[in-house]
A = this chain, B = another copy of it.
Amino acid sequence: MRAGLNAERVTVAGADLADEVGFGEVTLSALAERLGVKVASLYSHVAGLGDLQTRIALLALAELADLAAGELAGRAGRDALAALGGVFRDYAREHPGRYAAAQHPLDHETALASAGPRHAAMTRAVLRDYHLAEPDRTHAVRLLGSVFHGYVSLELRGAFSHSAPDSQESWVRVIDSLDALLRSWPTTDDDPRT
């Protein structure tokens, strides 16, 4: 009896498994068992464990980009900022394994073909309303990426769950702070430090 697998079904099953047991704990053995198939059979669809990890990472990046594109449509300013951050935060909480996979290192060529560039473009789009000129725009992109990724990572690790106030409150304040910061961004044409 054939199970009717292909590369995408295997990848999705791997992503689901990652969400349940953690990305680093995904093994071909466990995945094969879940799919009702022998381990060697998986090699007909993916090149090995490393290839599977890369495919899950690409899946997660694409899903994240699609979600972000949907939430960002028709929003601007603080609204867009909160929406973009919220996509990352919600995705990480609903799909921790997929979110971890999205941090998996990709070689340069693969990264360029991934949804990574779409992410960068969307962050730039969110900043459009704040009217920053280069290089400040790039500095701001990096700051937003750092805050979103950092906050979500720490929250996922439980770093904010053992002390008051609730993490949700801090999240709202962080978004507010970023919004205020971007509005009053100090434009620096000559900074003696740089």
* Residues of A that sit less than 8 Å from B by CB: 24, 103, 105, 108, 135-136, 138-139, 142-143, 145-151, 153-154, 157, 159-160, 162-165, 167, 169-170, 172-174, 176-177, 180-181, 184-186, 188, 191, 193-194
Task: Establish whether residues A176 and B170, one from each chain, have CB atoms under 8 Å apart when the complex forms.
Answer: no
Q: Are A146 and B147 in contact (CB under 8 A)?
A: yes
- Judge whether B174 and A145 touch: CB under 8 Å: no
Residues of B near A145 (CB, < 8 A) are 150, 154, 159
Question: How many copies altogether?
Answer: 2
Top 6 A-B pairs, shortest CB-CB distance: A150-B150, A146-B150, A146-B151, A139-B173, A149-B150, A135-B165
* Max chain B C-beta neighbours (<10 A), residue from A105, A151, A167, A191: A151
List B contacts of A174 (CB < 8 A). Answer: 139, 142-143, 146
| Complex Cα spacing A135 to B24, Å | 35
A145→B159 CA distance, assembly (Å): 10
Residue among B157, B172, B180 making CB contact with A193, cutoff 8 Å: B172
Docked CA distance A167–B138 (Å) = 10
Q: B24 and A170: CB pair below 8 A? A: no
Could you tell me the distance in whole angstroms from the C-beta of A162 to the nearest C-beta in chain B?
A: 8
Q: Which of A105, A162, A194 counts the most chain B CB atoms within 10 A? A: A194
Query: How far is B151's CA from A150's CA once the two chains are assembled, in angstroms?
Result: 7
Q: Are A149 and B154 in contact (CB under 8 A)?
A: yes
* Residues on the B chain within 8 Å of A108, using CB: 162
Q: Report chain B residues within 8 Å CB of A173.
A: 136, 139, 143, 188
Cβ–Cβ contact B186 & A180, under 8 A: yes
Contacts of A153 in B (CB 8 A): 103, 149-150, 153
Most chain-B Cβ atoms within 10 A of its Cβ — which of A108, A143, A173, A188? A173
Return chain B residues, CB-CB under 8 Å to A143: 147, 151, 170, 173-174, 177
